[in-house]
Amino acid sequence: MGLSLHADHLKLYKDLLVLAAKYGRSDLLKHAPLVDDLPTDHSASSSPPEATELPKDLERLGPTFIKLGQLLSTRADFIPPAYLEGLARLQDHVEPFSFGDVEAIVTVEIGARISKAFSEFESEPIAAASLGQVHRAALRDGRQVAVKVQRPHVREQVAKDLDVLQEVAHLLDAHTETGRRHEFSTIVEELRKSLIRELDYRLEASNLRFLGDKLAHFKRLVVPQPVDDYSTGRVLTMDYIAGRKITRLGPLAKLEMDGDILAEDLFRAYLQQILIDGFFHADPHPGNVFLTDDGRIALLDLGMTARIDSHLQEEILKLLLFIADGQADRAAESAMRMGDKHEDFDELQFRRRIGEIVARQEDASVTQRQIGREIMEVKLIAADTGIRVPAELTMLGKTLLNLDLVGRTLAPDFDPTESIRRNAGEILRERAWKTLRSGTFFTALLETKELVEKLPMRLNQFLELVASNKLRLQIDAVDEDLLMAGMQKVANRITVGLILAALIVGAAMLMHVPTNFRIFGYPGFAILFFLGASAGAIALVISILRGDRHK
């Protein structure tokens, strides 16, 4: 499939070509590690010039590429640390849009002027992101809220940018081996779905309510709740959470908080979301995780979420437990069951590389164990060896990579592997209880009841047939009559052929026997045998041809 050039996309094509030419041969692609921590010393001499220029270039391309940069800033599995530092700035330091646009959008969306709907509304945003920005405000009843307002015309811009990215992805998939292996079109399509969901603030409001309800029993966690009357598709009003990003906590603040307990609660909350609820907050980067003034952890920005079905939940739980217990073969089996195998799937290489992950995890220190890294490695190994894994696995790996960073910030000695072992029993009990409460369990129970009720009667009927020698086994394989008729016909032809061969051999032998009975000057009996064999051969050939033509 070729690249279909559209006139209104020409400028973006040019910008993408310039971007590819600038960074295609840089350290961004040459020396990308699988996973690495952010360096503690970001001196100018240690970072290539492109690392500081990339965020600016993405900002110039618009909100879609800013969002792409944000996603890359969380992908330490293939982005070098020097570039991570620059891309991390895109998480909450995007240039804000004017307050005039904010007033116009809010007035149209909620149907009232800001001065009428709010008692206070700060003109300067407290955060600006690629798709929108957040302002602090207060309702008429004094309730402190945060108002998230979508950027003007961002939906049209995103749709146009995604069309171009999809065209480029199709071109790469059709003409490059890397594209065929990694299916860039699927990646762009997943980005499209994610952005469409993020651009509908009504979905985010629903996510806030759902997650807040599911995590209500975690007293050290808080999820801001939406104000429905002041929320629409482009404006989201929710509780204001006072606090600081966990990556900005000073040494004194870290000493005052109970980091081990907070890290354990946060990790348990995500295990519940992923392995029990099947719905999780998919973007827990440091900009979205706050330490509140009262010492709790706040989860913000639920525009990016993901769902996992029951089958994938079970395989992920098995995979994590097998890796934690050092069972390489069973971990490989579980990983293979997660995806679809290509025709060129290299199972031997897949098992060997999964075994390396397990061995490395066993030898790793507490601070080196990273669940997100392991999931991303499994995903990359699957792609390299010929397994197409669900897109949810990639989202899960990215989520856990961010969670690893958050956990190490709260408690440097926190061990996620041990947390999985500690919580495995509770997770299994919750999954069993969830199954008991679901309609699927009661349907299976009714079917089991019906089986038990009818089993004695059917067993009695079976035993009677056996005792009376009336049991018959019917196998629908081939037509036995047709098979026997065909075999008989083949046997007849073979018999006739043998007889004809015997006549020809007999005729040849009689040619040497002296006799007065001659035909055409040759021994008569020999000629008769030969003529009979010839007539029979002709008749057999005619019969074969007629029979085959009829079939």
Give me the active site residues, please: 283
Query: Dihedral sign, CA of 365, 368, 371, 376?
Result: negative
Helix, strand or coil for residue 43? coil
Measured distance CA(296)–CA(246) in Å, rounded: 11
CB 164 within 8 A of CB 12: yes
Measured distance CA(90)–CA(519) in Å, rounded: 110
Q: Count Cα neighbours of 26 within 13 Å in the Cβ-side half-sphere.
A: 19
Radius of gyration of the chain (CA): 37
Instruction: Tell me, letter by letter, the H, E, C secondary structure of 299-368.
Output: ECCCCCEEECCHHHHHHHHHHHHHHHCCCHHHHHHHHHCCCEECCCCCHHHHHHHHHHHHHHHHHCCHHH
Measured distance CA(245)–CA(68) in Å, rounded: 22
Measured distance CA(212)–CA(277) in Å, rounded: 12
Q: What is the DSSP letter of 280?
A: E
Which among 214, 450, 430 is positioned nearest to 442, based on CA atoms?
Answer: 450
Q: Which residue has the tokens 């870290």?
A: 254
Proportion of the chain in helix, strand, coil states, percent, rounded to 5 = 65, 10, 25
Measured distance CA(530)–CA(506) in Å, rounded: 8
Burial (Cβ within 10 Å: 0-12, 13-18, ≥19) of residue 203: middle
Residues 6+ away with beta carbon under 8 Å from 470: none
201-205 — which CB contacts under 8 Å span 24+ positions?
Answer: 201/148, 201/150, 201/231, 201/232, 201/233, 201/234, 201/235, 201/236, 201/303, 202/231, 202/232, 202/233, 203/303, 204/148, 204/236, 204/301, 204/302, 204/303, 205/231, 205/236, 205/238
Measured distance CA(318)–CA(138) in Å, rounded: 47
Measured distance CA(269)–CA(223) in Å, rounded: 12
Q: What is the DSSP letter of 96?
A: P
The Cα-based distances of 100 to 96, 114, 135, 474 in angstroms read: 12, 11, 13, 81
Residues 6+ away with beta carbon under 8 Å from 219: 296
Other beta carbons less than 10 A from residue 265's beta carbon: 19
Measured distance CA(36)–CA(48) in Å, rounded: 17
